[in-house]
């Protein structure tokens, strides 16, 4: 089978090697399309592919229509909001993700951003420490759990809320379970977002909710830019000079946020999962899932059932 690795933001070279070896050992042909500059390049490359490995690459109806032989797409990562899963289902294309494989990388970056924020972006003025502060984790999935583990090492008090994870399971991980999103925001000095972008969560991080954060609150977003109501957050940051916002997913209104100098920072590219380890873990998991799909019809990680 022909497997296309299509990554606008490339994997680390070691990961590409590992993925290629895994697929070739199972008898598949591998085609690599990295840093493509236009959809046309992707449409051309996907024409005769039987399987695809992608990252946040957009797999739209146009791409799926061009991919006449496509049977399976594996998103090497967690969030699959960049793939039209419903249209893929209509076309009998299985969509899978590789949950948990890059979550430590994202969780570590949360603390990179946080230390930077509470130390005033290293401007030389006295900042604050994380020890003893209350950290709120919104959604207790793979990333949220890793954030909780690392936060304990910093000596933080850890709280979480997850609409789909029972309080018992949160408490079993040694984390205080809040009864609602509102309670989490009201309680915590630092709030880290780990919700996926879904019709329910898009723009859900709005003026009212963020305004519940106590004085000197810090909002960290390593989830998806779409979950933030940017217009309302801009309004709130203009009103509350104590608030900070740090992210690894540049908001659409980046230029406007930049006006809040000393209170806002975004990495130029989405960086959470951009480590050799995360690329290798997620990429090789994707390759193994493709091998299992073609060998036995295994669809354990299918997200469009």
Q: What is the DSSP string of 85-110?
A: HHHHHHTT-EEEE-TTTTHHHHHHHH
Residue 73 binding ligand 3PG, by CB under 6 A? no
Interface with ligand 3PG in residues 163-202 (CB under 6 A): none
Minimal distance, residue 97 CB to ligand 3PG, in Å: 8
> With CB under 6 A as the contact rule, which of the stretches 77-85, 114-122, 227-235, 237-245 interacts with ligand 3PG?
77-85
Rounded to whole angstroms, the Cα distance separating 146 from 150 reads 6
Reading the block at residue 175, the tokens are 């984390």
Distances (CA, A) of 188 to 157, 159, 176, 212, 219: 9, 8, 11, 9, 10
> With CB under 6 A as the contact rule, which of the stretches 28-36, 74-82, 110-118, 160-168 interacts with ligand 3PG?
74-82
Residue 251 binding ligand 3PG, by CB under 6 A? no
Minimal distance, residue 75 CB to ligand 3PG, in Å: 7
Reading the block at residue 264, the tokens are 């806002």
Rounded to whole angstroms, the Cα distance separating 244 from 120 reads 10
Rounded to whole angstroms, the Cα distance separating 185 from 159 reads 10
Q: Which residue is nearest to ligand 3PG (CB)?
A: 77
Phi then psi dihedrals of residue 55, to 5 deg: -110, -115
CB 161, CB 183: distance < 8 Å: yes
Residue 272 binding ligand 3PG, by CB under 6 A? yes
Of the candidate residues 15, 30, 78, 290, the single one contacting ligand 3PG (CB under 6 A): 78
If the CB atoms of residues 95 and 177 are measured against ligand 3PG, the closer one turns out to be 95
Minimal distance, residue 270 CB to ligand 3PG, in Å: 5
Continuous segment of H or E residues that includes residue 58: none
If the CB atoms of residues 102 and 289 are measured against ligand 3PG, the closer one turns out to be 102
> With CB under 6 A as the contact rule, which of the stretches 76-84, 120-128, 212-220, 230-238 interacts with ligand 3PG?
76-84
Interface with ligand 3PG in residues 7-66 (CB under 6 A): 9, 55-56
Interface with ligand 3PG in residues 87-116 (CB under 6 A): 102
Quick count: other Cβ atoms within 10 Å of Cβ 215? Answer: 8
Minimal distance, residue 105 CB to ligand 3PG, in Å: 8
Contacts of 287 (CB under 8 A, 6+ apart): 3, 18, 19, 22, 23, 53
Residues at the site binding ligand 3PG, with contacts judged by CB under 6 A:
9, 55-56, 77-79, 102, 270, 272-274
């Amino acid at each position: 089978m022909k497997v296309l690795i299509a990554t606008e933001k490339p994997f680390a070279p070691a990961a590409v090697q590992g993925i290629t070896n895994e697929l070739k050992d199972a008898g598949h042909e591998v085609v690599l399309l990295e840093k493509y500059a236009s959809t046309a390049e992707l449409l051309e490359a996907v024409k005769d592919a039987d399987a695809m490995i992608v990252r946040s690459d957009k797999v739209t109806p146009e791409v799926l229509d061009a991919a006449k032989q496509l049977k399976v797409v594996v998103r090497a990562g967690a969030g699959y909001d960049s793939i039209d899963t419903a249209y893929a289902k209509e076309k009998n294309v299985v969509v899978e993700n590789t949950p948990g494989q890059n979550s430590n990388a994202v969780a570590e970056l949360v603390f990179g951003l946080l230390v930077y924020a509470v130390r005033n972006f290293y401007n030389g003025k006295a900042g604050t420490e994380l020890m003893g502060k209350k950290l709120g984790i919104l959604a207790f999935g793979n990333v949220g759990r890793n954030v909780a583990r690392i936060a304990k090492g910093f000596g933080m008090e850890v709280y979480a809320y997850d609409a789909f994870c029972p309080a018992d399971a949160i408490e079993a991980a040694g984390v205080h379970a809040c009864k609602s999103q509102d309670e989490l925001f009201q309680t915590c000095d630092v709030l880290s977002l780990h919700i996926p972008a879904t019709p329910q969560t898009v723009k859900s991080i709005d003026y009212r909710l963020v305004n519940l954060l106590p004085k000197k609150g810090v909002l960290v977003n390593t989830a998806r830019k779409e979950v933030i109501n940017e217009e309302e957050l801009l309004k709130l940051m203009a009103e509350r000079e104590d608030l900070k916002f740090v992210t690894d997913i540049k908001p659409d209104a980046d230029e406007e946020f930049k006006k809040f100098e000393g209170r806002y920072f975004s990495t130029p590219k989405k960086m959470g999962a951009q480590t050799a380890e995360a690329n290798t873990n997620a990429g090789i998991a994707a390759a193994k899932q493709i091998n299992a799909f073609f060998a036995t019809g295994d669809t354990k990680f299918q997200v469009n059932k």
